[in-house]
Amino acid sequence: MAESASRSTNFIRKIIDQDLASGKHTMVHTRFPPEPNGYLHIGHAKSIVLNFGIAGDYQGTCNLRFDDTNPLKESMEYVSAIKADVRWLGYEWEGKERYSSDYFDALHGFAVELIEKGLAYVDFSPQEVIRELRGTLKEPGKNSPYRDTSVAENLAEFAKMTAGEYPEGHCSLRAKIDMASPFMCMRDPIIYRIRHVHHHQTADKWCVYPMYDFTHCISDALEGITHSLCTLEFQDNRRLYDWVLDNISIPCHPQQIEFSRLNLEYTVMSKRKLNLLVTDNYVSGWDDPRMPTIAGLRRRGYTPGSIREFAHRIGVTKMDNMVEMGILESCIRDDLNENAPRSLAVLDPVKVVIENFAEGSTETLQSPNHPNNDAMGTRDVPFTRELYIEREDFREEANKKFKRLVLGKEVRLRNAYVIKAERVEKDANGEITTIFCSYDPETLGVDPADGRKVKGVIHWVSAEHGVPAEIRLYDRLFSIPNPGAAETLDEALNPDSLIVMNGFVEPSLAKAEPEQGFQFERMGYFCLDSKDSSAEKLVFNRTVDLRDSWAKIAD
């Protein structure tokens, strides 16, 4: 699949074009700033493709910066996973990865500068009082009794906070801005708080940690970011972003630009909820193939190109909306339709015995790997007296619409011969155990010579050479379009999001590489599971159906 080569422009690219044309900037420098408190999801992919994509297209650079000001919820496991995911998506950041915590010394210095300028104060009011005095959207806030403490006293108190002389929650450092501002974030926001916790980067050096709004703008400026792209919920906070940079001695002032976050139907994107799915064992982990995480999509069989293509197709705007799951699915379907080798796998097998085929002999047939691309070559597929076909592909009786195998009638086996069902054998429960057939040896790759028409084609696997495989049929994790709005995750879950089949795959699939995608002819697109598959037990994951089966349901 050719990734959208001529990328449609967007309002952010227009701003950048203007900034370059006016000489405001000579180069573009963006950043992707994840908090290492969970795995990256498809929403982050939108931001990654935007930030790294812009840097790439404008010959600029993009930093990877871990926004690690909240050590309690963060971990190195997430740091490593995020780095791996960004690289897998096809991007490389400028230099070493950075951490907001790299700047804790500088940030502390800027906090002291604000105190010295009379623009920050240590507030000993309890949390509830601070909240109370902040006011509401309709009513202005009220000044804290600590607002007019002298600079000298604030410096001394902040030093004590930093030295660990106070317990958590005893006091905090607040910016002195405007308690009557229509923007709540400007009503003397807390910029430093006490946390007696170990940090994954700075260990036990600090017991005061800067707040996100204070940290983010300064980190951007220290790194020389030109355009700081973030999601719309930070629109109001832009006032604070600019206020901080306007009031400290820092030469650089990045421009914050907001865009709408990705919301995707049939899934949740909040890290808190994703975390809950993992910790409450609704899924097998962050990389469960049903998760909207990059790791989950990857394990499911999505390719990096298909995710980048998705980000291009949905575009970047300021409008909040809900993207249809079908758009994501069509991106991987288009990719695999073009690039995935075809192969044969029977998910729900029933035995076929071809009575006029010599016992114990194997005929090696050549099958094209792709119907429209000869360059993908051919593979050997063994044909034997005993085969498996899909149980649902046989009926003892059926009308003309059923173009598969029917008792007394003929069907073509994919890339092989025409066979005719002669009789069946059943077990005590009436379940068919074997379908006895005959084959027409003159029909390999050609229609029957006498002109009789054989309509249907079904897939098959040699019973002797086929390899047993567990085949996991994944579907959407949630059965309603907006599970985020449901009272509980339970009531929104799709009970059939995973169905496990024990089938047989053609022998060439035993050499499949983890995550490599295949079309199992007539059954969908599948990949070898990267975690649970082994030489002893092959495991394949369904990536996506051949067609959008949910669209049919919606109709």
The residues assigned a catalytic role are 35, 261, 271
Burial 93-103 (b: 16+ CB within 10 A, else e): bbeeebbbbbb
The footprint of Mg ion (CB under 5 A) covers 35
**Shortest spacing between CB 117 and ligand ATP, in angstroms:** 29
Residue 323 touching ligand ATP (CB under 6 A): no
According to CB under 6 A, which one of 43, 141, 210, 481 is a site residue for ligand ATP?
Answer: 43
How far is it, in rounded angstroms, from Cα 421 to Cα 405? 7
The count of residues interacting with ligand ATP (CB under 6 A) is 15
Residue 48 identity (one-letter amino acid): I
Q: Which is nearer to ligand ATP, 316 or 411 (CB)?
A: 316
Return the one option of Mg ion, ligand ATP, none that residue 349 interacts with (CB less than 5 to 8 A, by type): none
Residue type present at position 29:
H
Q: Quickly tell me which residue has 């047939």 as its tokens.
A: 365
3-class SS of residue 95: coil
Residue 231 contacts ligand ATP per CB under 6 A: yes
CB of 261: closest distance to ligand ATP in angstroms? 3
**Binding residues for ligand ATP restricted to 136-165, rule: CB under 6 A:** none
Do residues 250 and 107 make contact, with C-beta atoms less than 8 angstroms apart?
A: no
Query: Token pair for residue 3?
Result: 């990734």
CB of 321 to Mg ion, least distance (A): 21
Nearest CA among 241, 297, 249, 248 for reference residue 269: 297
Q: Are 425 and 436 in contact (CB under 8 A)?
A: yes
Binding-site member from 13, 29, 34, 289 for ligand ATP (CB under 6 A): 34
- Identify the residue among 240, 262, 332, 505 touching ligand ATP (CB under 6 A): 262
Q: Which does 262 bind (CB under 5 to 8 A by kind): Mg ion, ligand ATP, none?
A: ligand ATP
Q: Select the residue whose beta carbon is closest to ligand ATP and give its number.
A: 43
End-to-end CA distance of the chain: 28
Cα angle vertex 528, ends 374, 266, to 5°? 105
Asked if residue 269 binds ligand ATP (CB under 6 A), the reply is: yes
Closest CA to 243 of 214, 219, 220: 214
Work out whether 215 is an interface residue with ligand ATP (CB under 6 A): no
Residue linked to tokens 């007019």: 148
CB of 280 or CB of 496, closer to ligand ATP: 280
Q: Least distance (Å) from ligand ATP to the CB of residue 77?
A: 14
Q: What residue 459 binds from Mg ion, ligand ATP, none (CB within 5 to 8 A, per partner kind)?
A: none
User: Which residues in 222-283 belong to E strands, given as ranges?
Assistant: 227-231, 255-259, 263-264
CB atoms within 10 A of CB 215: 24
Name the segment binding ligand ATP (CB under 6 A); options: 27-35, 136-144, 518-526, 531-539. 27-35
Distance CA 288, CA 376 (A): 31
Tell me the residue number closest to Mg ion, measured at CB. 35
Q: Around Cβ 413, how many Cβ atoms within 10 Å?
A: 24
Shorter beta-carbon distance to Mg ion: residue 35 or 545:
35
With CB under 5 to 8 Å by kind, the binding choice for 270 among ligand ATP, Mg ion, none is ligand ATP
Which is closer to ligand ATP, CB of 456 or CB of 484? 484
Find the part of the chain contacting ligand ATP (CB under 6 A) among 170-178, 268-276, 432-440, 526-534: 268-276
Among positions 270, 317, 321, 378, the unique one binding ligand ATP when judged by CB under 6 A: 270
Bridging pattern class, strands 29-32 and 61-66: parallel
CB atoms within 10 A of CB 355: 12
| Residue 4 binding target from ligand ATP, Mg ion, none, CB below 5 to 8 Å by type | none
Select 70 or 201, whichever has its Cβ closest to Mg ion.
70
- Contact predicate 355/339, CB 8 Å: no
Is residue 221 a contact partner of residue 197, using CB atoms and an 8 Å limit?
Answer: no
Phi/psi at 526 (5° precision)? -135, 160
Q: Does 261 bind ligand ATP (CB under 6 A)?
A: yes
User: Choosing among Mg ion, ligand ATP, none, which partner's interface includes residue 230 (Cβ < 5 to 8 Å by kind)?
Assistant: ligand ATP
The listed partner (ligand ATP, Mg ion, none) that binds 503, CB under 5 to 8 Å by sort, is none
CB 459 within 8 A of CB 389: yes
Binding site for ligand ATP (CB under 6 A): 33-35, 43-44, 46-47, 67, 230-231, 261-262, 269-271
